[in-house]
Structure 1
Amino acid sequence: MSDGRAERIAEFVEPLRVEPGSRVDLERDFDPRYKSGMKKREGVELLRIGVSLLAEYQTRLAAQDTYGVVLCLQALDAGGKDGTIRHVMSGVNPQGVRVSSFKVPSAEELDHDYLWRYAQRLPARGEIAIFNRSHYEEVLVVRVHPEFLLRQHLPEHGPGRGVGDDIWDRRYREINRWERHLTDNGFKVVKVFLNLSKEEQRIRFLKRIDLPEKNWKFSAADVRERSRWDDYQKAFSEMLSATSTRWAPWYVVPADRKWFARICAAAVLAHTLMEIDPQYPDVPPEVRKDLLVAKRGLEQEAPAGAPSDPYAARHPSSEQAGPHGGKKRGKRKKRRKHG
């Protein structure tokens, strides 16, 4: 980007990125209250800019119809996933975005391999799919509650089968290979973990109880899961260590301040789209000729006294049209291939 936006956003999200191959201790390495020295009033404007950027790049992604994007959102209860989706995606075209929330698997889903139900919700080319919880539940909740494995009908005997001690390492490898397969085929996987402190979770749970309009959000099961806090911290730390890869890195977003978490999530997604750098397709010369013929016909239909082309009259520079029908673009530097 000639205006430096891509470089600034890349610099902003870099402290959030889990370096592939690194060993993560969530409590030691990432502060849930980190805010990069930013004040909330600055954040409101930055989020507006981020949402505008996402709208611009989403339109280009859809027009190019080559890449798709999968945004995986993970967090503990009350981590802010729903609010992040609502605010970050507020300016995009809903036709190009699909949000899937993964609850307890159904009987049909349990009759397939553990990645099957997530594969059913992948985006088409040109789309953004948001997973509110994702395939990482299979190495998080299921790891903290290994009894859930019994419902998955896994074979019990034979090499590499069943629920042996190596099951989590196997699943990490399987997930990494699956994400590499998606990336190699043009589907970028971007993963965001909303990192909430135990005290902030307590405060948010109390708010859900104190405010009648938020009572529906509260579940006693959430408090029971809170008693397994240390187990979840360990599971998250090991997951981040094992599955942050060069082709699909994790970003740990400080979630104690909702406004800052939303800025970070928008920046991470914008960074991903800028790396893809989708372009509007060029129109072939023969199609361009047909457009010019249609343009002349429409101009001749203008009412008396009205400009033949109101848009061109308001934007004189649009007369300098390139093969795609817009202003001529300068040559772009060749970008490295992704995946």
Structure 2
Amino acid sequence: MSMKDWMELDIDSLEFEEVTELEKKRVKQYVLQKRKKKHVWRNIAVASVMLIGISTAAGYAYPSFATQIPFMDNVIQYFSNETYKEFGEFSTDIGLVETSNGVTVMIDNAVYDGTNITVSYAIETDKDFGEDIHSGGHWFDIAGSNGSGGSSEITKISDNRYVGLSTITPSFKGGGYPDKVEITWEPKTLYSTSNDVKVDGDWSFAFSLKRLEGNVRLVNETVKTNDITFTLKSVELTDVSTVIAYDQEVSDTLLEEWQEVSPVFKVTDDLGHVYLDGTGGGGFSSDNGKTLEGTTAFGTIQEGATKLIIKPVEIASLGSGKGHTKMELQPIIIDLEK
């Protein structure tokens, strides 16, 4: 098929075999973006376009465009956080690009460690967004989840270019996590608060990630107070992160006084490294907080450490900034050499 034939192809007439709805959307998205691209994409080889049919049928990710866009190459290099030091080596090349109303959004890489999904991306714009740029519309949506939390960091690297890193922690019914997640992102709006600039667009992305395989160590150790029973169920060590899974039960008496009770953690090792200091994670409760199942993730454990010290700190809150109190539980020590 020639490039001309490809560009004139009737997308809705395509027949797909043995592919999911997600893959269909990715093919249609990819062909449409090829039609919309301007001068930035002129040097992309025809061979890259022709790989679409092969890679979709086989279920592979599309080739990344990072080598075609210099500042896009390895977005993670712009972020020095220790948590992301293994990201580049173990993440999946996504390489999806959308341009709308003079703003190009490019997803570079992503990884799913079994709890958190981390996505690196870049933005190129012909508008002056100033020092800050934010996205509206639908944040990263995870199919089958009850909701999600997380954080985003976007850094300006030149007059019209930004790089971003988002971490999404979805929650699923029952507190478990699937082996594969399907992700969509439709920003709808990009805006700046410093320069009062807003751009509406039709950027739309869809991709999937398989869970990184890790070494799960069952712990099932419980610490408690009169009103809280906390159990650390397991610690999972992956190539990019450490994931702790827990559940807890809170007394009716405590919930009558406080609207919600949830843990944050201080995690250190026997060498003095601090991995978390007052950070929580995703959790699920089906009974208004009486019981809670959750997970929290942090970076890989430093070489030479032989013990991991996990100290839960319960935050009892009235909600909406009306007040809170902290209750420290006994630390749980994990012997890493066993």
TM-score (norm 2): 0.25
The structure whose RCO (Cα within 8 Å, separation 6+) is larger is 1
Larger fraction in helix: 1
Larger fraction in strand: 2
CA radius of gyration, larger in: 1
